[in-house]
């Protein structure tokens, strides 16, 4: 597996990481713990060294799963987790009912980190992200709290998720950021306008989540696809039958390039992200071994400058239908 460095930080990770959320949360009922433990360990055997979790996934159960599964490989892997929510006891992840409020107050960050350290069975968190920007807490206070945790040896690297450029600059001035994690793929290209140039200027790495469009870019869905009520895609405007039908043009494009490259649509979608910048590390999630192998295979797919121009030119003519989140969740992004 090729390695990449996240920005100027020298944090070196596998070129493709593994998003662990779906093992416990959001995509239907939680998966079998033993099977997921085996999957996480198989990922390490295949050269994946970058694993992404968060306290809100479960809540808490995903960190426990990742911590236990990766304990034997602690020295080989980089585990990223996130803080920033008040996890109230009525929170039901299936419909985001009683959805947790944001809380990035410094004392709350410190409490959250103590919990994450225990669940992950580690003495230091490799990469700690603020999960969503909290409009009630100045980002300087958040960065200052993480800076103290870094000085205490409890955290190594600081990151933000779904933050806007002003927030990125203000945080970076207090405690340099190693990475920004935001949604980015061929069907969510918002970061290209302002965020990616800012990251390049400041030397911050970029970790795209949902690089396969929450499963859509694998080419395995159409307007007949249905989602269980415990699957949060059932609440997303972009996953209505009409939107799924309208957005198939993207899959046709990926399939066409894939045929030439002897690659699947998912592999082309990931290879496209890897080709954008050398400091981009996508974290596709999966609960299946054959999908893990397929995703890892994307590292070997070479897209030439001509291929990339063709993708850009064709994609620019395709209008993606449907917002990526319901309004309430959309408001939490780009702050």
Q: Which of 276, 261, 235, 265 is CA-nearest to residue 92?
A: 235
Q: What is the C-alpha to C-alpha distance for residues 161 and 217, in angstroms, rounded to an integer?
A: 22
159, β-bridge pairs? 129, 179
Helices and strands (DSSP H and E) totals, the chain: 12, 11
- 209: annotated active-site residue: no
For residue 272, CA distances in Å to 253, 288, 314 come to 12, 22, 13
Residue 123: Cβ-neighbour burial (10 angstroms; 0-12, 13-18, 19+): exposed
Pairing of strands 78-83, 11-14: unpaired
Among residues 57, 129, 184, 209, which one is catalytic? 57
Q: What is 94-162 written as a DSSP string? A: TTTBTPPEE---HHHHHHHHHHHHHHHT-SSEEEEEESS--TTS-HHHHHHHHHHHHHTTSEEEEEEES
Residues carrying an active site annotation: 57
């Amino acid at each position: 597996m090729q390695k990449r460095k996240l920005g100027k930080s020298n944090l070196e990770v596998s070129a493709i990481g593994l998003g662990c959320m779906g093992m416990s949360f959001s995509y239907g009922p939680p998966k079998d713990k033993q099977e997921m433990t085996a999957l996480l360990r198989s990922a390490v055997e295949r050269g994946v060294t970058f694993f992404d979790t968060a306290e809100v996934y479960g809540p808490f159960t995903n960190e426990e799963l990742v911590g236990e599964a990766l304990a034997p490989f602690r020295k080989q892997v980089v585990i990223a987790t996130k803080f920033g929510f008040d996890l109230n006891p009525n929170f039901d992840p299936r419909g985001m009912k009683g959805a947790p409020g944001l809380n990035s107050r410094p004392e709350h960050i410190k409490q959250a980190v103590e919990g994450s350290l225990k669940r992950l069975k580690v003495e230091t968190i490799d990469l700690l992200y603020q999960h969503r920007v909290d409009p009630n807490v100045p980002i300087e206070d958040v960065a200052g709290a993480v800076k103290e945790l870094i000085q205490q040896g409890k955290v190594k690297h600081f990151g933000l998720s779904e933050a806007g450029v002003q927030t990125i600059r203000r945080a970076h001035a207090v405690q340099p950021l190693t990475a920004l994690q935001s949604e980015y793929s061929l069907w969510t290209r918002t970061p290209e306008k302002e965020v990616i140039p800012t990251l390049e200027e400041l030397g911050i790495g970029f970790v795209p989540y949902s690089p396969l469009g929450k499963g859509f870019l694998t080419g395995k869905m159409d307007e007949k696809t249905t989602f269980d009520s415990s699957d949060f895609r059932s609440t997303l405007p972009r996953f209505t039958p009409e939107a799924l039908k309208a957005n198939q043009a993207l899959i046709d494009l990926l399939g066409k390039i894939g045929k030439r490259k002897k690659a699947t649509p998912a592999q082309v979608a990931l290879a496209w992200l890897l080709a954008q910048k050398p400091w981009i590390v996508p974290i596709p999630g999966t609960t299946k071994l054959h999908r893990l192998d397929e995703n890892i295979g994307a590292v070997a797919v070479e897209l030439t400058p001509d291929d990339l121009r063709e993708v850009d030119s064709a994609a620019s003519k395709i209008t993606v239908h449907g917002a990526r989140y319901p309004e309430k969740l959309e408001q939490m992004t780009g702050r």
